[in-house]
Amino acid sequence: MSDSRRRFLRQTAMISAGIGIGQSFASPFFIRSGRAAFGDKIRIGAIGINGMGWADLNSMLKNNPDTICTAICDVDATVMAKRAEQLEKDHKMKPKQYADHRALLDDKDVDAVIIGTPDHWHCMQMVESMQAGKHVYVEKPAGNSIEEVRLMVAAQERYGKAVQVGQWQRSNAHFKSALAFLQSGKLGKIRMVKTWAYQGWMKNIPIKPDAAAPAGVDYERWLGPAQKRAFNPNRFHFNFRWFWDYAGGLMTDWGVHLVDYALLGMNAGDPKSISAMGGKMAYPDDAAETPDTLATMYDFGSFVMLWEHAQAIRNGNYGRDHGIAYIGNQATLVLDRGGWEVIPDEGNKEVYEKVKRSDDGLANHTKNFIEAIKTGNNSILTAPIQAGAKVAEVCQMGNIAYKRGMKLHWDAANRRFDDAKANKLLKPTYHNGYQLPKI
């Protein structure tokens, strides 16, 4: 065995035990434990800290002076070492480091958990966090299947802790003001809502051969309940989004943000029917599995909602690369992350409004989560798990309709489709000895 391999195994063992690489037992985090060691601060543990998990953690620490990071966890030791260094440099904090999220959940010095792992881990880790008595901030989409998000709602309702889903647009002031204008009735009757994400920055993903996982990566743990496959760099870190084993493509990546506000603005219940068409039309031969081009239609009875996404195209509806358009008889309100405006219909010059973004939605969102914990009042959460589950369900319906290649009708009373093969897609298949959580 090489010296480098021996060092790696030693480091992995230390991390699994909750000892940071280069960190000794002299650290105050090991000398003292419990609330007294940290005053009245809310103690944050972060699971999955390479992308949005890291952004969420930074936002909580920067915008909430009564928070402290006491633990971090990642299957990539290189990422964890980098984040530990950044936390010490930027926040003067030396959190414990864990390779296994279960060890972090056992840590009594953690009050709340950020879950920034790939989508296929969200349900299991959120439920286990609840069972460990932790509050949870879970990245969007809430889960990777309809059955999973139902279990997540059931877990929160049983254990009662605060659960915020990372749909931070709900905390932007201009999104709220757009909703207020929408509800004023000035647009007239709304019969159609368009939602879209045209992602010009998304180019093709060249096919790469399978390879050994990078040193310091616990690939078996990264896979978790997903189907066992050889490591491939295309499926790891950011690009996991474009593979069905772990996520749902742009429909669940961007769709949950935008469809969420369509549902919220229309006070929508369940769709009556769903149809979808599209495919790999931009890059038919690249490595990704999820469609790069998709158009999905939802019939809600009193209005129709459309979702569109396209890779490698930036010029979307109304000249915007993403957005929501509420199309009324009198005018159309177009909303995106930069602001909103009302476009009057022909002959109606009375209705006009334009508002620009004026605040930081993520900062507001993490503040809202911490405030709910401090006050013990879950009702103030702007994106509780119930809301996150609802939009995740609707987006999953779109993906299921795409996979089936047919129009599906939804039985809201029995929470089922009118198609047996579609119903089999409601519940995920867990692998590698993992099972769906039991509530």
All domains in the chain, ordered by first residue:
3-169 (3.40.50.720), 170-357+385-424 (3.30.360.10)
pLDDT at 377: 97
Which residues sit opposite 67 in a β-bridge?
42
336: confidence class by pLDDT, cuts 50, 70, 90 = very high
Q: Among candidates 293, 289, 299, which has minimal Cα distance to 281? A: 293
pLDDT at 35: 56
Chain segment 264-311, per-residue pLDDT in tens:
999 999 999 999 999 999 999 999 999 999 999 999 999 999 999 999
Q: Say how far apart CA 245 and CA 226 lie, in whole Å.
A: 6
pLDDT at 348: 72
pLDDT at 15: 44
Give me Rg for the CA atoms of the chain: 22
pLDDT at 9: 39
Chain segment 175-194, per-residue pLDDT in tens:
999 999 999 999 999 999 99
96 backbone dihedrals φ, ψ, rounded to 5°: -70, 155
- 256 with 264: CB under 8 angstroms? no
Chain segment 18-40, per-residue pLDDT in tens:
444 333 222 223 223 455 556 68
Chain segment 87-124, per-residue pLDDT in tens:
999 999 999 999 999 999 999 999 999 999 999 999 99
Q: Say how far apart CA 96 and CA 326 lie, in whole Å.
A: 47
Instruction: Quote the percentage of the chain above a pLDDT of 90.
Output: 89
278 backbone dihedrals φ, ψ, rounded to 5°: 155, -155
6: confidence class by pLDDT, cuts 50, 70, 90 = very low
DSSP string, 292-311: SEEEEEEE-SS-EEEEEEEE
Angle at 151 between CA 146 and CA 155, to 5 degrees: 150
DSSP letter assigned to residue 217: B
- 44 with 52: CB under 8 angstroms? no
pLDDT at 351: 73
Q: Record the tokens describing residue 143, joined without a space.
A: 């889960």
For the chain, how are helix, strand and coil distributed in percent, rounded to 5?
40, 20, 40
Q: Among candidates 137, 156, 224, 163, which has minimal Cα distance to 428? A: 224
Length in residues, the chain: 439
Q: Is the dihedral of CA 397, 398, 404, 405 positive or negative?
A: positive
93 backbone dihedrals φ, ψ, rounded to 5°: -120, 145
